[in-house]
């Protein structure tokens, strides 16, 4: 079923898989409980001459009605928890080696992206700074360094299933690896003031050639700008 947006990172499939695992386990119990509830409501509706039974629910046999299903609920809980833990570890607790790095800065109410220029190192004179436009290479592990200039923001890329708060005064590093090219939304996912709803950006997942073309254009723009001054 295609209820999710495009899956475009190496871990988005894990998250979608976890979703379907939870849906299966939890959905089973949900439907079972609802069916049981409606069956009981229908079966024991008031009929003339039928008196209700007297059941205290305190004997061991009666308690089993609760605790036997509960045991299976706990089993489901544990399996969800284990799977969650392994996916979480992959996304947030480990930081694989990366060849690319990009700095993401949130501010009221735009995103600023600092790409390392041709030298591949941040904080050098050839850095390319863009507003509301992030360029990354496909099939490349990329580290992002997330900062904020004023209040809390949240860097959210739905197609990556990626989300991280940006906190002023801290630099938080995370990672992603895009698996397919295209142009998608970046949203701010933490209330950041009046312009919060307008704080969108676009991510461009480029092939190596596209990325190089774009970078050449940016460098050209920079040079034109310097020349015009």
Partner 1 sequence: MSKTDHQVHPSDHGHGHDHEMNFWSKYIFPLDHKMIGLQYLWTGLFMALVGGFFAYVFRMQLAFPGESVPGFGHVSPASYNALITNHGTIMIFWVAMPMLVAAFGNILIPLMIGCDDMVFPRLNRLSYQIFFISTVLLFVGFFVPGGAFGGAWTSYPPLSARAEYNLTPWGASIWLLAVALEIVAFLLGGINFITTTMNSRAPGMKMMDIPIVVWMINIAVVLFMFSVGPLVAGAVMLLFDQTIGTSFFVPSGGGDPVLWQHLFWFFGHPEVYVILLPEMGIVAEIITVFSRKKLFGYKMIVYTTFMVGILSMIVWAHHQFIAGIDPRMASIFSFTTILISIPIAVIFFAYIATLYGGSIEFKVPMLWALGMIAEFLLGGVTGIYLGASALDVYFHDNTFVVAHFHYTLIPVVFFGGFAGITYWYPKMFGKMMSETLGKLHFWGTTIFFNGIFIPLFFLGLAGQHRRIYDYRNFPDLAGMQDLRIFATMCLIGLLISQIPFIINFVRSIKNGEDAGKNPWKANTLEWITASPPPHGNFAEMPTVYRGPYEYSVPGRKEDFWPQNQPS
The distance between the two most distant Cα atoms of the chain, rounded to a whole number of Å, is 97
| By the rule CB under 8 A, 36 interacts with partner 1 | yes
Q: What part of residues 69-108 is at the interface with partner 1 (CB under 8 A)? A: 69-70, 73-74, 77, 80-81, 84-85, 87-89, 91-93, 108
Which residues have CB under 8 Å from 19's CB, separation 6+? 4
d(CA 164, CA 91): 11
User: Is the CB of 129 or the CB of 150 nearer to partner 1?
Assistant: 150
Rounded CA gap, 144 and 45, in Å? 60
How far is CA 136 from each of CA 11, 19, 36, 72, 133, rounded to the nearest angstrom?
16, 27, 51, 45, 10
Nearest approach, Cβ of residue 10 and partner 1 (Å): 14
Q: How far is the CB of 45 from partner 1 (least distance, A)?
A: 5
Measured from the CB of residue 201, what is the shortest distance to partner 1 in angstroms? 10
How many positions of this chain bind partner 1 (CB under 8 A)? 85
63 interacts with partner 1 by CB under 8 A: yes
Q: Which of 102, 128, 178, 192 binds partner 1 (CB under 8 A)?
A: 192
Q: What are phi and psi of 206, to 5 degrees?
A: -105, 155
Q: How far is the CB of 198 from partner 1 (least distance, A)?
A: 5
């Amino acid at each position: 079923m295609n209820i999710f947006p495009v899956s475009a990172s190496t871990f988005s499939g894990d998250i979608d898989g976890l979703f379907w695992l939870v849906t299966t386990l939890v959905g089973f119990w949900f439907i079972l409980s609802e069916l049981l509830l409606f069956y009981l409501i229908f079966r024991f509706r008031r009929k003339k001459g039928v008196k209700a039974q007297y059941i205290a629910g305190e004997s061991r046999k009666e308690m089993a009605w609760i605790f036997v299903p509960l045991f299976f609920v706990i089993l489901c809980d544990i399996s969800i928890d284990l799977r969650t833990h392994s996916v979480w570890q992959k996304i947030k607790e480990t930081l694989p080696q990366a060849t690319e790095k990009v700095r993401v800065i949130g501010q009221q109410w735009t995103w600023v992206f600092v790409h390392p220029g041709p030298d591949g190192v941040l904080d050098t004179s050839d850095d390319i700074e863009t507003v509301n436009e992030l360029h990354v290479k496909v099939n490349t592990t990329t580290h992002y360094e997330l900062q904020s200039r004023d209040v809390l923001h949240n860097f959210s890329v739905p197609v990556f299933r990626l989300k991280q708060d940006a906190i002023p005064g801290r630099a938080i590093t995370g990672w992603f690896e895009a698996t397919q090219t295209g142009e998608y939304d970046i949203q701010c996912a933490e209330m950041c003031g009046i312009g919060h709803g307008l704080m969108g950006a676009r991510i461009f997942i480029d092939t190596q050639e596209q990325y190089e073309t774009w970078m050449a254009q940016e460098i050209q723009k920079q040079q034109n700008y310097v020349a015009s001054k």
